[in-house]
Amino acid sequence: MNLDELSAGAQAELAMLHTARQLEAFRIKYLGARGLLKEAGDHLRAIAPEQKREYGRKLNETKRAIQAGFEAAREAVAARSPELSTVIDITEPGRIRTEQYSPGTLHPVNQTIDDLTDLFARMGFSIADGPELEDEFHNFEALNVPPHHPARDPLENFYLERPAGAAPYMLRSQTSSVQIRIMENRRPPIRIVAPGRVYRPDTVDATHSWMFHQLEGLVVDRDITMIDLKTCIVQFARGFFGTDVKTRFRPSFFPFTEPSAEFDVLFHYPDGSARWMELGGCGMVDPNVLAMVKIDPEIYTGFAFGLGVERVAMRRHGVDDIRAFYENDVRFLRQF
């Protein structure tokens, strides 16, 4: 291969490079892995031994000249088209936070949901969900809450406006509706948690909001007892808040569990005081509920729980007012 010709041809072409596309074509033709310079290098093997040294020296010279000419041409093209002047390294990690860009963080309530579901997944639960817009069958009836029960009072719930005579629809007031949706479609063994939003026209204060999140848990199998329920809740609390967390169960009532309880954790306030805070309700699934979804209560038993996610997030981060989560003050939200 005649290196003088190669060099002269390259220099002539370099003088005519004006666009990025031409640059790239040149690079491939001369400098590419299967380009002319590589070919000229391979040619070295065919050269008579006494000429090898001279050919090698000249080849290096030619390479350097073409390389330098190419760099110069690239700079000249880049100077004319600014978008080429910065070489973009797509493997470089992104800059997380700069003066101009602040991509934000996951909301502390969503972080808490992720961490809760991770923990329950490790305890063998799978994750389920259900609709926020519910009918009365799933939100009440199948949960053993009969038609004239005070919990169904229109003043206690967000019902949708519907044409006269149409079946009522509501924003679900509890994630317990998901229990029914799961049991309608699956047979035991069942072991799920279902996080989601719920809505109640409660008076807003430091621990109550009109929209909040619950995490429902449901286990149905043979031989499930109250011991399994308590163990599960205590294990969760220790896994989540630390092994020294104090929990307590108080007898309570829910139409869909019997017996029922509420569970509290000792909440330490920033001023140093401590008070019990109710995290959720729980109990053994009422046999009527199992019968309603055609699971034989003579064979299967189960437990369920529903905890307030905001309460968990408050306990965890020492936040003493639930409203802080929904004021969208970035100075508050950036802390998480």
Question: Where do we find the tokens 């308590």?
Answer: 230
The residue whose Cβ lies closest to ligand FA5 is 308
Residue 197 as a binder of ligand FA5 (CB under 6 A): the answer is no
Residue 282 as a binder of ligand FA5 (CB under 6 A): the answer is yes
Cβ proximity to ligand FA5, 66 vs 180, nearer residue: 180
Cβ proximity to ligand FA5, 102 vs 225, nearer residue: 225
Residue 212 as a binder of ligand FA5 (CB under 6 A): the answer is yes
Residue 283 as a binder of ligand FA5 (CB under 6 A): the answer is yes
What minimum distance in Å lies between the beta carbon of 188 and ligand FA5? Answer: 17
Residue 310 as a binder of ligand FA5 (CB under 6 A): the answer is yes
What minimum distance in Å lies between the beta carbon of 245 and ligand FA5? Answer: 16
Q: Which of 26, 241, 300, 305 binds ligand FA5 (CB under 6 A)?
A: 305
Cβ proximity to ligand FA5, 13 vs 134, nearer residue: 134
Q: Which of 295, 304, 313, 314 binds ligand FA5 (CB under 6 A)?
A: 304
Residue 302 as a binder of ligand FA5 (CB under 6 A): the answer is no
Residue 172 as a binder of ligand FA5 (CB under 6 A): the answer is no
Residues found near ligand FA5 in the complex (CB under 6 A): 174, 176, 200, 202, 208-209, 212, 214, 254, 257, 260, 278-283, 304-306, 308, 310-311, 322
